[in-house]
Chains A and B, each alone.
Chain A
């Protein structure tokens, strides 16, 4: 089982869009996939039409005895299960802090699922917190959406230094370009900078209004617009991620 955290310090950069659509492609490729929605806003949960409710909330879920399996819900996509969000996750830091070894807690909770899933996506809220540390410790790979602006690139530098300090030694940090608008000069300039950065995944997700329609269709993008440009971009992003996670065979 490989754990992929989609995380960034910045909000609204396309983390959820990436988590939701990459999970779709992973499942379509035949991998047993779990999407864990850790954001109290529950956008990923909403897109997959699951009720955003976790019995007992985050506090109970973090108990050693609470089994994640019992909270998992199957989605409309074969091979794709979802661990729904809960409004109580807004207090996740406090709940974690009340536990022993809070940094290791998420990894510990995921361990029993190792045989059930090939890949787990964590859709994280934008913050730097105890919860993000716990996420980093659980992750094999960190996917970081970067909007091509100079400010975002500074944010990426912060993410990288945080990940090096708090993540596992072999953590893969994989930034990729998100919400790219080539009509904007600033975007074009920043794209040049990113192209020079070898750590970036090659696929870039274009900004397109069809992505926003996920909330209307309540389905991942490829389910209603499989041939759209952003859907293809997510597919390409998935094949790169796939190769990085599982190697080419």
Chain B
């Protein structure tokens, strides 16, 4: 793909001026202007925008097509649009689907802004009358709710056809020499998003709070908790509307992080004011569990089907249908919880509490650097102690508690990452994540196997065929194998993570040494 260029037009320059300027190169054609509507798509967490890609559905009369501009300076590529696009998997197979999926994963592709564009195409031709370079002039009007919002921008693009890069360079040079142009043609996506009332990159599930080591712990922890509350609230609507599974995931993580923060940093906020909230966040966390567990199971089954290329897939259909029905029930219950007065009161009161400076607990006025270091080391030591006392034959409940110990450490490291060396923090989080992934997978496999085994009778009672039950048996056996394999992976990785060198690195990182 040849590079394309984009200029902003500064003066009163229109198609006629552009054509006159390009006439120096040879024959020029000016096509009739067209009006198109572009709907810009991205995930809720701006995965495409962050990757540098742009995905747009363009409507010209009743024709629709997809425009995909991957990171880099090539012109957008046009693709046929056949159905509704909700996920990367709905896109036509090939580069487009692969590139978008690589960035978006399983997040939904949501409209994030709209522009109405008046487009006039000027073409540079050769002596045979063949197009060498397309030079569209676009008046880009950001829209909101179908009405213009924000200033219109005129811009000019230089798009050489494949195989005619030299002509493209010549056209760009002539235009730059004869017209008043600014090199930066603006950002159509950003304009559209701003008009829609958002800003690209305005959401990320990361706990990106910049702290300084000397900051009083009470203030620092309130800021972290306030950030978590914003994340939690930001995900309510997407969860209730069921746009994709990651809204619930992020909402659940924000809840769990909040609980970890309350538990692991006790003594920082005034205990008597915080205490009532612990139970409320536990309630909220529990409300998210059934739906999330089923989401994970269904996603796993989907991945299993893809990796086996459909082999034996249909036999699991009764199970999948049953899980989907259960999931729908769980989701409706969760939606009800999120619409309840109890939830709204929690958000309201918690927000009020976090917004007000208050005399903290006994550790509230200590510097956060010291408090955070001490709590991280404590969490690490507890995790190491509990884990080293277990072996591959440990009961599931003990392994589950260990997983929670691990999560607490991970969250603490993430809350306070800005206090420490970024690279080393990230390295330790990565190592911990490897340990946790094995443990999480182990636990999922156990849970899913319990579900499958428990559903056998019901599938049978509902008229399930032998094939369905055999497939479920095979699935259960696979899950058991996975559970066993993962627990071994876990202990192999854990040994390193709980060992003296890692402990020394951690203590050095956070500047706190635990006793023996």
The yes or no answer to A29 lying at the interface (CB within 8 A) is yes
Contact B161 A75 (CB under 8 A): yes
Closest to A76 in B: B131
With a CB–CB cut-off of 8 A, which chain A residues contact B131?
Answer: 74-76
With a CB–CB cut-off of 8 A, which chain A residues contact B94?
Answer: 1, 115, 118
The yes or no answer to A104 lying at the interface (CB within 8 A) is no
The yes or no answer to B92 lying at the interface (CB within 8 A) is yes
Contact B92 A74 (CB under 8 A): no
The yes or no answer to B391 lying at the interface (CB within 8 A) is no
Most buried by A among B80, B82, B123, B129: B80
With a CB–CB cut-off of 8 A, which chain B residues contact A30?
Answer: 65-66, 78-81
Closest to B163 in A: A73
Contact B130 A249 (CB under 8 A): no
Closest to A49 in B: B130
- In chain A, positions 53-89 with a C-beta closer than 8 Å to chain B are 71-76, 78-79, 81
- In chain B, positions 65-89 with a C-beta closer than 8 Å to chain A are 65-66, 77-83
The yes or no answer to B162 lying at the interface (CB within 8 A) is yes
Q: Among the listed A1, A49, A74, A115, which residue makes an inter-chain contact with B163, where contact means beta carbons less than 8 Å apart?
A: A74
**CA of A74 to CA of B134 in the docked complex: distance in angstroms?**
11
The yes or no answer to A10 lying at the interface (CB within 8 A) is no
The yes or no answer to B128 lying at the interface (CB within 8 A) is yes
Contact B80 A74 (CB under 8 A): no
The yes or no answer to A218 lying at the interface (CB within 8 A) is yes
The yes or no answer to A50 lying at the interface (CB within 8 A) is yes
With a CB–CB cut-off of 8 A, which chain B residues contact A81?
Answer: 162-163
CB distance from A161 to the nearest CB of B (A): 33
**CA of A8 to CA of B78 in the docked complex: distance in angstroms?**
32
Contact A32 B128 (CB under 8 A): no
The yes or no answer to B95 lying at the interface (CB within 8 A) is yes
Give chain A's interface secondary structure class.
Answer: loop
Contact B162 A218 (CB under 8 A): no
Closest to B129 in A: A49
With a CB–CB cut-off of 8 A, which chain B residues contact A130?
Answer: none
Contacts A73-B161, A74-B162, A75-B161: A218 and B128 contacting too (C-beta < 8 A)?
yes
Contact A29 B130 (CB under 8 A): no
Contact B83 A76 (CB under 8 A): no
Q: Among the listed B78, B83, B128, B164, which residue makes an inter-chain contact with A79, where contact means beta carbons less than 8 Å apart?
A: B78
Contact B128 A49 (CB under 8 A): yes
Contact B80 A249 (CB under 8 A): no
**CA of A30 to CA of B77 in the docked complex: distance in angstroms?**
10
Number of interface residues of A (CB under 8 A): 22
With a CB–CB cut-off of 8 A, which chain A residues contact B164?
Answer: 73-74
The yes or no answer to A194 lying at the interface (CB within 8 A) is no
Closest to A1 in B: B94
The yes or no answer to A31 lying at the interface (CB within 8 A) is yes
CB distance from A226 to the nearest CB of B (A): 14
Closest to B95 in A: A115
Contacts A1-B94, A115-B95, A249-B82: A32 and B163 contacting too (C-beta < 8 A)?
no
Closest to A79 in B: B78
- In chain B, positions 120-149 with a C-beta closer than 8 Å to chain A are 123, 126, 128-131
With a CB–CB cut-off of 8 A, which chain A residues contact B81?
Answer: 30
**CA of A76 to CA of B128 in the docked complex: distance in angstroms?**
12
CB distance from B103 to the nearest CB of A (A): 17
Closest to B160 in A: A74
Contact B163 A118 (CB under 8 A): no
**CA of A82 to CA of B162 in the docked complex: distance in angstroms?**
9
**CA of A115 to CA of B65 in the docked complex: distance in angstroms?**
18
CB distance from B334 to the nearest CB of A (A): 33
CB distance from A247 to the nearest CB of B (A): 10
With a CB–CB cut-off of 8 A, which chain A residues contact B77?
Answer: 32
CB distance from B342 to the nearest CB of A (A): 45
CB distance from B296 to the nearest CB of A (A): 29
Closest to B79 in A: A30
CB distance from A25 to the nearest CB of B (A): 11
CB distance from A71 to the nearest CB of B (A): 8
With a CB–CB cut-off of 8 A, which chain B residues contact A76?
Answer: 123, 130-131
CB distance from A38 to the nearest CB of B (A): 18
With a CB–CB cut-off of 8 A, which chain B residues contact A71?
Answer: 163
CB distance from B140 to the nearest CB of A (A): 19
**CA of A78 to CA of B131 in the docked complex: distance in angstroms?**
10
Contact A72 B162 (CB under 8 A): yes
With a CB–CB cut-off of 8 A, which chain B residues contact A74?
Answer: 131, 160-164
24 contacts between A and B (CB under 8 A): A1-B94, A30-B78, A30-B79, A30-B80, A32-B78, A48-B130, A49-B126, A49-B129, A71-B163, A73-B161, A73-B163, A73-B164, A74-B131, A74-B160, A74-B162, A74-B163, A74-B164, A75-B161, A76-B123, A76-B130, A81-B162, A81-B163, A118-B92, A218-B128
Using a CB–CB cutoff of 8 Å, the interface residues on chain B facing chain A are 65-66, 77-83, 92, 94-95, 123, 126, 128-131, 160-164
Using a CB–CB cutoff of 8 Å, the interface residues on chain A facing chain B are 1, 29-32, 48-50, 71-76, 78-79, 81, 115-116, 118, 218, 249
Apart from A48-B130, A76-B123, A218-B128, list 6 A-B contacts with CB within 8 A: A31-B79, A74-B162, A78-B78, A81-B163, A118-B79, A249-B83
List the 6 shortest-distance A-B pairs measured between CB atoms, nearest first: A74-B161, A30-B80, A49-B130, A73-B163, A74-B162, A30-B65
